[in-house]
Structure 1
Amino acid sequence: MPVRLLVLCSLLCGLCFSAPVRAQSLAPEAMAAHAVNRLSFGAVPGEVDRVRAMGVAAYVEEQLAPEKLPEPQALAERLAALKTVSMDTVQLFRTYGPKAPGGPRKNPTMDEITAAREKASIIHTEASEAKLWRILLSPRQLEELMCEFWYNHFNVPASKGLAHLWVGSYEREAIRPHALGRFEDLLLAVTHHPAMLINLENWQSASPDSPQGKGKPRPLVEVHARELMTAHTMGADAKIKIQDVNSLALILAGWSIGAPRTPQDKLGFVFDEQRHDIKDKVFLGKTIKASGVNEGVEALRLLAAQPETARNICAKLIRFFLTEDVPKPLEESLSKVFLDSKGDIKAVLRALFSSPEFADRKYAGAKFKNPLRFVAAVVRASGRPVQEVRSLAENLDWLGMPLYDAPGSSGFKDSRDVWLAADLMLSRLNLAWQAGEGRLPCWSPGSFRPVEALDAMALARTMGLTLSQATSHAVEGAAPGLKAGVLLGSPEGQQF
């Protein structure tokens, strides 16, 4: 192993073992850096000083009202250059979806399927680029974090069937408009979206007593109902009754995709009455009267209002913004805010960011950055103009966090243990050295000219880092071109 990696590995021992710290509030100047680190993908030069001057409370309110923050022209131009980013779900399917073969054949050949898939790969590529441009250039950082949080919570992997056509439109149409709104509205939008209906196979589900389901072996698909009650709302630890799963599956039978048939069918969603039975159903102890698609709307609203849902969502928000070890009093207080406000996400976040726990010194700089946060923080803190972001998406692939393609129903786990695997850490340390030397392709694509190394102390100031004695000595002792790499690979550089 190169000497430079040995230096970093010795520093990184601090990532695995940390001494407990007694509860103590952060000083105001440290609180500003803490707030920026937690409410953004990383500070840009001057941001921590700006927040110190305006006050953390004002910064929180600024981020909770993203519509008042104008986005830069550079971001608008970057997004406008991505042709698929402006296309809705229906347009994407019509342009890039599977086509019926010509002639007498009923099914496409494997070559035709492969060619169609390759043509459609631009959707995933451009969705990833749009996401990275927003993360790097938008002042609406909390909104971008919440889009990432909710996509992970309501995960749809790009590799799942036709979902590869819609990962970008799913986020734009179902998640982004409600990322800081009401949980009930978000849940309804996500459950209606063709990407989710394809992902959890509800699009082909039919009640056994419906015209389309009669006589067919196992026409009812229950996987969507089960994930809705666990991963999406009440949590994996909730005591779910099989009768409720079955009832919810019957309620959602007929929620499918296709050409619109009624005014309520839009953006590829369609309610197929031929797959739904016209009967009253009992769900979570409540009788839901037969009313077609409205049965599902009522059931989702009921799920969104459950105390278990409040606890599950609030605990995940605490893990995302504060600590993996969720303080139970904070979870209970946020759950009360969630229920009292009828799932107002802004109200819950405001309560979280103003809580004594959020200001507790023991949590500052103690969360481990996942690959997306790490890469974004480095690029943002550098202050250097970014020429392209496709290489950053590639970096995330080999760091183990491919954009829009996390496995499972709840995406990537928000746990340091996941990212401390030896192979992933080695890749991360190599990236730290490359970035520290100023050699990330996003800064000078296609250029082989000499580049200037990043300034380690400028990075530390921008990020608001307080370096340990071991890290300070390691940075001071490194060769001039390697100092920034040592800083970025240190525990302080890896945590926030």
Structure 2
Amino acid sequence: MKHKFSLIHKIAAFLMLTAMFSPIFTVGTNAQMMRKTSAKLLTEDQKILHVLNRLGFGAREGNVERVKAIGINKYIEQQLNASAISDLTAEAKVKNLDVLKMSNEELFAKYPNQAAVLLAVAQKNNLDKGDIAQLKNKNRVKGDEMKNADGAMISSDNKNADANVAQLSEADRQKYQQEIAALYAKYKLGKPQQITQQLNASRIMRAVYSERQLNEVMVDFWTNHFNAYANKAATRWFLPEYDRDVIRPNALGNFKDLLTATAQSPAMLFYLDNFQSVSPDAQTAGNNRGKYPNRRLNQTNQTNQMNAQRREQLKKQYGLNDAELDARIKQNQQNPKQPKRMQRGINENYAREIMELHTLGVEGGYTQNDIKEVARAFTGWTIVDPRGYRRTFASVANGTEDKRATRLMRLAGLPEDAESGTFFFNERAHDKGEKTVLGQKINEGGMKDGLKVIDVLVNHPSTAKFIARKLAVKFVSDNPSEALVGRVAKAFQDSKGDIKTTLRAIFTDKEFFAAENYRAKIKTPFEVVISAIRTVGADTNGGQIQAMLAKMGEPLYAYQAPTGYPDTAEDWVNTGALLERLNFAVALASNRIPGTRVNLKQFEGKDKSEILNRSIAVVLDGEISPNTKATLLKQLEQPLIEPKIETVADNSDDGDAMENTAMMQNQGGGRNRQRQVRLLPPSGNAEVFKVVGLILGTPEFQRQ
């Protein structure tokens, strides 16, 4: 059954949001406009809540009492030393997500590009390009590029392919689709989108259940700072390793180590194209060899040696008659040379972003020439078999490796025994000349050129200021004072980029606990989702709830620009976004999200007034503005606003919910793309979940 907003519901929703959220719509408005405590110092209880909200994703049951018992300063130090905190609950929650443990090569094999599976079926059945295009369209493989055995693109929207599409019968199509399904079952294959679905689920569950709350906050921060877009070609296959081996181990470590790890990460190398950045003088297969000849029309020296079946396939594929085919074969034999592949050269994408977004900042004092020089220094930083071609699905099915891919690796100077999808420095592709970056000569040679650039960037004063400002925005306010930024930058420089020391400087600064910064930041959608789950004590498998997160505008790893998701109120505050937050809050409280369950018994009372007061005490710690409370009291007498959804029966377990979430993926890369979210019918005490849902949607809860 489908529910849609009526006009009256839309008007009611708008009026309620306007009444409740009017203070938020003025960007830069702080807690002084909502509360009358601006002239006072924070109480000890408020400081505890502030720490739990800023160093973590809000309080779970018992957290406030625990911090009271050990003291705020000790709690902060414990969070800064996250590795010493036992985290068994969170680890148990994610232990069955297999992608978290797999290497990139294993992911290529287990979750093959869907086009590769189609290609395996096509090769087995001797189908031509037109047949593959038809089969591809029938199976609705969207966003995946197909390649033939020679590595050439096969695209369903290619004009030549469309002109030569073979007319497969419906029976043949069904047969091939059954073969595809059989291959997935036989080899226990998964779909590529499951990689990011599992990774996203792990991010959500760790944020909800981890005792290492600050570490999870910093994982989120650095994941956006060093953004990689999952939907760019092969990038998604590299993201589990990126989270596991790059971001997490360094989230509270040293910035130089983190920057170096990201520079060598296949996820970053692929996303920003540095894996194919080579010196124009490099002696590699891609630069000094022409494209391999297309031998489809040149398989034999004598046309009569070509078997009849192959002749018919070629005629169909190229739209030729017998005479035209013979003429084409003869022409190929007389002119065997093929057009040369465009030479690769230096790619400046990563060089630009490492300075503008990762270190110095847009006003960091670098020039276009610095970008060129940095790009030269990082030539040769590449990926072994970046798309997993060496062990394509067809090869895996036959128990072999793709010999052509292996040969190309050898010609390019890459080690044949290295795993697919791993970092490798290719000396042959490196620009060996002297470089000058920010006035410093760099002539270390080989991979050390890039490492020297990292050293120069990390130690530049602009980097200290840029990182200090971003961290101050994250933990203090959207508009931190220059004095605070200066103090934090000094801590960064003096400690040579030690992240713990830098954060400690923020948490011990007088501005961190300033009353004007209390509940002054608007939560991002990710922070809203996690804090809501923690506050009401819900349990989640991190599956279908990803769709709700996407509807609010923050699908994980789906921000196309290298900036990552923003972290200020002006980027998240608008009527549509706030309505989606309210929809999520109501869906969570009423148990409508598959894979996420909540028991609201603690909020029950003898009447609406008691339910409201209990809910305010638990969810908002008793802190609510008169305006918000008055609006809530009015809304309690009105029908609960129904979100625009598609309702499905609860006939799947939590595991199935995760498998049925293709809508989670933000294929367009835009934050505000509309999605249909599949929810369950509401369950629980209607009066209670109505109150709790509305309170989770209040301005007070949207702030931290």
- CA change 1:330–1:295 in 2 (3 A) is same
Map 1:429-444 → 2, pairs under 5 A: 429-444=582-597
Q: Is the 8 A contact 2:277 2:344 kept in 1?
A: no
Q: Is the 8 A contact 2:104 2:420 kept in 1?
A: no
With normalisation by structure 1, the TM-score equals 0.91
Q: Is the 8 A contact 2:31 2:518 kept in 1?
A: no
Match of 2:454, SS? helix
Residue-by-residue CA offset, 1:218-245 (whole Å, 9 max, x unaligned): 6111111011111111012223212211
Amino acid at match of 2:61: P
Paired position in structure 2 for 1:381: 535
Separation of aligned partners in 2, 1:462 and 1:64: 26
Match of 2:380 among 247, 251, 254: 254
- CA change 1:218–1:166 in 2 (3 A) is closer
Q: Is the 8 A contact 1:220 1:253 kept in 2?
A: yes
Amino acid at match of 2:149: R
Paired position in structure 2 for 1:120: 192
Q: Is the 8 A contact 1:47 1:462 kept in 2?
A: no
Separation of aligned partners in 1, 2:417 and 2:39: 55
Map 1:252-291 → 2, pairs under 5 A: 252-258=378-384, 261=415, 268-291=422-445
Deviation at 1:76, TM superposition (A): 2.7
Deviation at 1:91, TM superposition (A): 2.5
Paired position in structure 1 for 2:150: 106
Separation of aligned partners in 2, 1:53 and 1:461: 19
Range with bigger deviation, 18-27 or 293-302: 18-27
Deviation at 1:62, TM superposition (A): 1.1
Paired position in structure 2 for 1:343: 497
Match of 2:436, SS? strand
Map 1:314-463 → 2, pairs under 5 A: 314-386=468-540, 388-444=541-597, 456=612, 457-458=614-615, 460-461=617-618, 463=620
Q: Is the 8 A contact 1:367 1:495 kept in 2?
A: yes
Match of 1:211 among 283, 296, 307: 283
Match of 1:483 among 688, 691, 694: 691
Paired position in structure 2 for 1:148: 220
Separation of aligned partners in 2, 1:298 and 1:71: 37
- CA change 1:263–1:301 in 2 (3 A) is farther
Residue-by-residue CA offset, 1:196-220 (whole Å, 9 max, x unaligned): 0100001111112322457965611
Paired position in structure 2 for 1:225: 351
Residue ranges of structure 1 left out of the alignment (5+ in a row) = none
Paired position in structure 2 for 1:191: 263
Paired position in structure 1 for 2:645: none
Deviation at 1:444, TM superposition (A): 4.1
Q: Is the 8 A contact 2:105 2:419 kept in 1?
A: no
Range with bigger deviation, 338-347 or 237-246: 237-246
Residue-by-residue CA offset, 1:458-487 (whole Å, 9 max, x unaligned): 464355351111223334452543222232
- Give me the identity figure in percent: 30
Q: Is the 8 A contact 1:254 1:274 kept in 2?
A: yes
Q: Is the 8 A contact 1:381 1:459 kept in 2?
A: no
Q: Is the 8 A contact 1:123 1:164 kept in 2?
A: yes
- CA change 1:31–1:453 in 2 (3 A) is closer
Match of 1:144, SS? helix
Match of 2:596, SS? coil
Deviation at 1:43, TM superposition (A): 1.0
Pairing 1:234–2:360 present: yes
Paired position in structure 2 for 1:95: 110
Separation of aligned partners in 2, 1:377 and 1:366: 16
Paired position in structure 1 for 2:405: none
Q: Is the 8 A contact 1:220 1:249 kept in 2?
A: yes
Paired position in structure 1 for 2:100: 85
Map 1:49-88 → 2, pairs under 5 A: 49-73=65-89, 75-88=90-103
Paired position in structure 2 for 1:469: 626
- CA change 1:234–1:214 in 2 (3 A) is farther
- CA change 1:146–1:451 in 2 (3 A) is closer
Amino acid at match of 1:467: I
Separation of aligned partners in 2, 1:476 and 1:105: 67
Amino acid at match of 1:140: R
Deviation at 1:81, TM superposition (A): 1.1
Amino acid at match of 2:19: S
- CA change 1:173–1:267 in 2 (3 A) is farther
Separation of aligned partners in 2, 1:242 and 1:132: 40
Deviation at 1:440, TM superposition (A): 3.8
Q: Is the 8 A contact 1:124 1:164 kept in 2?
A: yes
Amino acid at match of 1:469: P
Range with bigger deviation, 97-106 or 173-182: 97-106
Q: Is the 8 A contact 2:31 2:519 kept in 1?
A: no
Separation of aligned partners in 1, 2:344 and 2:21: 53
The aligned length equals: 489
Amino acid at match of 2:234: L
Paired position in structure 2 for 1:25: 41
Pairing 1:10–2:19 present: yes
Paired position in structure 2 for 1:169: 241
Separation of aligned partners in 1, 2:530 and 2:488: 29
Deviation at 1:95, TM superposition (A): 3.5
Residue-by-residue CA offset, 1:145-175 (whole Å, 9 max, x unaligned): 1000000000001011110112222111111
Range with bigger deviation, 355-364 or 274-283: 274-283
Range with bigger deviation, 147-156 or 467-476: 467-476
Q: Is the 8 A contact 1:432 1:485 kept in 2?
A: yes
User: Which is higher, the Rg of structure 1 or of structure 2?
Assistant: 2
Paired position in structure 1 for 2:163: none
Match of 2:107, SS? helix
Separation of aligned partners in 1, 2:372 and 2:106: 34
Range with bigger deviation, 38-47 or 457-466: 457-466
